[in-house]
Amino acid sequence: MKFFKFLLTFIASVTLLSNISNASEKWDMALAYGAGNFHSANATEFAKNVTIKSNGRLTIFTHPGGSLYKGGEIFRAVRTGQAPIGERFMSALGKEDPLLEIDSQPFLATTYSDAMKLYKASKPDIVKGLDEKGLVFLYAVPWPAQGLYSKKEINSVSDLKGLKFRAYNSATIRIAELTGMAPTKIEAAEISQAFSTGAVESMITSPTTGKNSKIWENGVKYFYDIAAWFPKNMIIVNKDAWNKLDKDLQNLVMKEAALAERKGWELSKRGNVADKKALADAGMVVGKVNAELQKHFQSVGATMAKEWADRAGSRGASVLKAYK
């Protein structure tokens, strides 16, 4: 009888432990940028907070620097369930949905205030579009304002002609075409190599990317603060993985996502000032373009805005109306 009671107790204990084990989830989070990048650091803090506050019911392990999947692979990996959660540069996904590249339309939003207004106007349709693709949107954080980097000084439109230009999405490819530059698509992790080998000699990106890659070590001397746009990274979750979480856990994740988004925007604002200073401190010439070039870029922006509106159709028109 004692043995029988012991056996029943043992079986009950094993069953309980099994249920506890099954109740906990472990997610590997794919991050494209290095651990020191503010996007990665913010995502790591988000993952840590979820893990702690859920008492381990959901443990998120971060994999920065493209160590789990490279930047260009992350969206597909999350969508197909190869990775339950990941980060992707939104405007690189324009072929998936034109609304995802609204934040990279030149000079549509040139301040953080306008960038937030544009985000709020576009977010509902973006979230809906991702949901239809089997993805849950958690949060998005902008990069600092995009500026023009160059190995040589640029004083006129003719100086842009033939420049080998690093592109990272359809918007940067198009801006190169409209200004006479020669675009080559290169992910952020490959920037230093591309400049050092001469594959590219100019790019439009944030002061943060330039600082993190120590771009001045590759012969890049000039940064023109044109504040072209504020592109965002987003954190997305595979819907099947999401549906394995109970409602309380989903609410916790969303709460922490909102906090991470708020902090991420503040980190971006700080970087917009500090990272330009870091470029100048490293010996780069940091300044503005002249009136002729500014007018040219504005004209290019207007052309691209019309082209984007045609691609985005009624959804895009609705978002722009809400923004303006």
Residue 64 confidence (pLDDT): 97
pLDDT in tens, 227-265: 999 999 999 999 999 999 999 999 999 999 999 999 999
Residue 324 confidence (pLDDT): 87
Q: Does residue 106 have a pLDDT over 70?
A: yes
Q: How far apart are CA 22 and CA 12, in angstroms?
A: 15
Band of residue 3 on the pLDDT scale cut at 50, 70, 90: very low
Q: Does residue 7 have a pLDDT over 80?
A: no
Which of 98, 99, 102 lies closest to 125, judged by CA? 99
Extract the tokens encoding 235: 């954190």
Task: Give me the domains of the chain, ranges plus CATH numbers.
Answer: 21-93+109-142+232-275 (3.40.190.170), 147-229+283-323 (3.40.190.170)
Mean pLDDT value across the chain: 92
Residues in Cβ contact with 279 at an 8 Å cutoff, skipping those fewer than 6 apart: 207, 210, 211, 215, 216, 223, 286
CA 144 vs. chain centroid, Å, equals: 11
Residue 187 confidence (pLDDT): 86
| Contact in structure between 285 and 65 (CB atoms under 8 Å) | no
Q: How many other C-beta atoms can be found within 10 angstroms of the C-beta atom of residue 180?
A: 14
| Contact in structure between 87 and 234 (CB atoms under 8 Å) | yes
Q: How far apart are CA 150 and CA 289, in angstroms?
A: 12
pLDDT in tens, 30-65: 999 999 999 999 999 999 999 999 999 999 999 999
The DSSP-derived string for 201-242 is SEEEE-HHHHHHTTGGGGT--EEE-------EEEEEEEHHHH
Residue 12 confidence (pLDDT): 46
Quick one: 108 exposed, middle or buried, by C-beta within 10 A (0-12, 13-18, 19+)? buried
Tell me the Cα Rg of the chain.
Answer: 23
Q: How far apart are CA 20 and CA 126, in angstroms?
A: 36
Residue 82 confidence (pLDDT): 98
Q: Does residue 195 have a pLDDT over 60?
A: yes
